[in-house]
């Protein structure tokens, strides 16, 4: 796993069983990504949440795909260079959950 500020080297891709055992609640594996949808009372609350995710993503230099809808935000993590989910993706899922 990369440490804060350490963007060198490659992370190791995790196998499906390892991913499933380490995923935080309400996250699931979909293809080569881990995915969770968060629900909100209104659009602007979801936009603010997505912005907070963006700040963490910049700090960690690991950027998710974020889809904002009226009352929900879908977040997807994968490590493109490694071709699937790594420790960094699971760590980012945990950090994203910590925002809620």
- Mean pLDDT, rounded, for 12-38: 97
- Mean pLDDT, rounded, for 46-50: 98
Q: How far apart are CA 51 and CA 55, in angstroms?
A: 6
Q: Is residue 69 part of a domain?
A: yes
**How far lies 41's CA from each of 34, 47, 54, 73, in Å?**
24, 11, 20, 11
Q: Is residue 17 part of a domain?
A: no
Query: Which residue range is the domain that position 41 belongs to?
Result: 27-98
Q: Is residue 84 part of a domain?
A: yes
SS (H, E, C) the chain: CCCCCCCCCCCCECCHHHHHHHCCCCCEEECCEEEEEEECCCHHHHHHHHHHHHHHHHHHCCCCEEEECCCEEEEEECEHHHCECEHHHHHHHHHHHHCC
Would the pTM of this model clear 0.85, i.e. be above it?
yes
pLDDT of residue 85: 98
Is it the case that residue 25 has pLDDT exceeding 70? yes
pLDDT of residue 1: 39
Q: Is residue 35 part of a domain?
A: yes
pLDDT of residue 57: 97
Domain count, the chain: 1
Is it the case that residue 72 has pLDDT exceeding 60? yes
Q: Is residue 32 part of a domain?
A: yes
Q: Is residue 2 part of a domain?
A: no
For position 64, which CATH number holds? 3.30.1360.20
* Residue 20: closest CA among 30, 33, 12, 29: 29
Average pLDDT value over all residues in the chain: 92
- Mean pLDDT, rounded, for 20-49: 97
Is it the case that residue 71 has pLDDT exceeding 70? yes
Q: Is residue 50 part of a domain?
A: yes
Q: Is residue 9 part of a domain?
A: no
pLDDT of residue 11: 82
């Amino acid at each position: 796993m990369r440490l804060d500020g350490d963007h060198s080297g490659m992370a190791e891709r995790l196998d499906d069983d390892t991913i499933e055992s380490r995923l935080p609640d309400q996250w699931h594996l979909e293809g080569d990504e881990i995915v969770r949808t968060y629900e909100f009372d209104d659009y602007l609350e979801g936009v603010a949440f997505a912005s907070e995710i963006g700040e963490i993503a910049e700090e960690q230099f690991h950027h998710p795909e974020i889809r904002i809808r009226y009352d929900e935000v879908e977040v997807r993590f994968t490590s493109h260079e490694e071709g699937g989910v790594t420790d960094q993706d699971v760590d980012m899922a945990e950090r994203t959950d910590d925002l809620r």
